[in-house]
């Protein structure tokens, strides 16, 4: 895909949603970090239901750490892998208190040293909480990047590298959110809504797919 086509794709996405953000509910970088840890292999909807209750009660590293694993578990047991996530959250809180004065570090290496935090989670926090131009490649971004031809790659790391290298800088800050939302609501895995897609005329997949009223 050439630069002009990529620019047009993100120009349209920006026009449709000038100020995109995560659908996870949070008010502080710490709440976002916890929500993203909990969101692994879970939906944002399920995480928001759990964190609404949790954050009403406690929303700091000290107070959540004081709950312990057993105290935290009832709040998150509706989320997949909740036992492992409870342990990771409590240990993350302990490390934030002992190593970072209770603050979420604005540093990739420090973030990735926290339990349950990999590159994708670190990228979400750096982008959404701190305004860093990072792209957290999840299943939606991986699918949209490959399907459209924006940044094809066989691994999430390869897709991330291509996106960071090829996207115009003016779009990097918000590209993460635009691609996730497009994959979540339009370019779905099993039934992409090519007929209702603002990018259909620019998309490699759509060009090969018969659409209603489209000559083949």
Provide Rg for the chain, Cα atoms: 19
Burial class (CB in 10 A: 0-12, 13-18, 19+), 201: exposed
Beta-carbon contacts of 168 under 8 Å, excluding residues fewer than 6 positions away, are: 3, 6, 7, 10
Catalytic residue list contains 208: no
Looking at the chain, the number of H-run helices and the number of E-run strands are: 11, 0
Query: Is 201 one of the annotated active-site residues of the chain?
Result: no
Spot the catalytic one: 44, 49, 85, 120.
120
For residue 151, give the DSSP letter. S
List the catalytic residue out of 85, 138, 204, 214. 138
Q: Report the distance separating Cα 88 and Cα 83, nearest Å.
A: 9
Active site (catalytic) residues: 120, 138
């Amino acid at each position: 895909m050439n630069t002009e086509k990529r620019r047009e794709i993100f120009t349209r996405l920006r026009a449709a949603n000038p100020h995109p953000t995560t659908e996870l509910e949070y008010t502080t970088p710490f709440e976002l970090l916890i929500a993203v840890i909990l969101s692994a292999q879970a939906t944002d909807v399920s995480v928001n239901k759990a964190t609404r209750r949790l954050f009403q009660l406690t929303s700091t590293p000290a107070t959540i750490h004081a709950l312990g694993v057993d105290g935290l578990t009832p709040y998150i047991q509706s989320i997949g892998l909740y036992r492992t996530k409870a342990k990771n959250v409590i240990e993350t809180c302990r490390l934030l208190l002992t190593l970072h004065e209770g603050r979420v570090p604005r540093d990739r290496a420090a973030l990735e040293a926290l339990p349950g935090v990999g590159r994708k989670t670190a990228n979400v926090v750096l982008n959404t909480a701190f305004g860093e131009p990072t792209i957290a490649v999840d299943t939606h971004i991986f699918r949209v990047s490959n399907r459209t031809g924006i940044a094809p790659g066989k691994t999430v790391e390869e897709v991330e590298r291509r996106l960071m290298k090829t996207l115009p800088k003016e779009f990097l800050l918000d590209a993460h959110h635009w691609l996730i939302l497009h994959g979540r609501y339009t370019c779905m895995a099993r039934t992409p809504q090519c007929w209702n897609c603002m990018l259909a005329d620019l998309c490699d997949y759509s060009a090969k797919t018969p659409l209603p009223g489209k000559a083949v």
